[in-house]
Structure 1
Amino acid sequence: MAERDGDGDGGDTGVVVETRAKTKRPPLYKVMLLNDDYTPMEFVVLVLERFFGLNHAQAFELMLTVHKKGVAVVGVFAFEIAETKVGQVMDFARRHQHPLQCTMEKE
């Protein structure tokens, strides 16, 4: 029998390429406050400071935007965070007997 040189792979050499799955960024959601005729402006400022981490000046400016335009985006978050913020704001408003509405929509 004839002996072959090599390791029997036919002389082919392969390169192993490690592929990395591209991770897709999660969709973002806008959290919005809606104006109403009953919720005091000071309460809206408090909500913006407490739940969205705005300082007093930023919260006041955003409250005026809500008041003048009827709605304003108060933050953009991943779904779970947006959903939590909406729930927190709605619960807080209800506990204080204000009809403030907070909603979210896909960006």
Structure 2
Amino acid sequence: MADTDTKRRTKVEPKTERPRLHKVILVNDDYTPREFVVMVLKAVFRTTEEEAYSVMLTAHQKGACVVAVFARDIAESKATEATDLGKSAGYPLLFTTEPEE
């Protein structure tokens, strides 16, 4: 029998990382009416009346509140849409995004 060298080949599979999620944050202001904030939360983020009121109240009491968590592009587009609704109505309503930890 002839000596044969057999080399073991290992297949390297690249690990794919899940995209990092981003939080959409409602920033409190003293000028936008509560009812308008609730309406925006329901329209853009599809929350119920109770959820929207709770988010609005938390932002009012603590200065800011996480509304939802999405992939970065979705979070940014929803934050922009909600902020633009406030601007078009003449309110300083502000939604921001930041990476989730």
User: Which residue type is aligned with residue 83 of structure 2?
Assistant: M
The structure 2 residue matched to 1:27, chosen from 20, 23, 32, is: 20
User: Which residue type is aligned with residue 14 of structure 2?
Assistant: A
The structure 1 residue matched to 2:94, chosen from 75, 96, 101, is: 101
Q: Which runs of 5+ in 1 are unaligned?
A: none
Distance 1:36 1:91 in 2: 15
Identity of aligned residues (%): 45
The structure 2 residue matched to 1:17, chosen from 10, 25, 32, is: 10
User: Which residue type is aligned with residue 97 of structure 1?
Assistant: G
Is the counterpart of residue 63 in structure 1 residue 56 in structure 2?
yes
User: Which residue type is aligned with residue 64 of structure 1?
Assistant: L
Which residue number in structure 1 is paired with residue 42 of structure 2? 49
Residues 76-91 of structure 1 mapped to structure 2, 5 A cutoff = 76-91=69-84
Distance 1:20 1:43 in 2: 50
CA RMSD of aligned residues (A): 1.6
Tell me the alpha carbon deviations over residues 6-59 of structure 1, each in whole angstroms, 9 at most, x when there is no partner. Answer: 7xxx51234443332110122221111111111011111111111112111111
Which residue number in structure 2 is paired with residue 73 of structure 1? 66
Which residue number in structure 2 is paired with residue 38 of structure 1? 31
Distance 1:20 1:14 in 2: 19
Aligned residues, how many? 100
SS at match of 1:20: coil
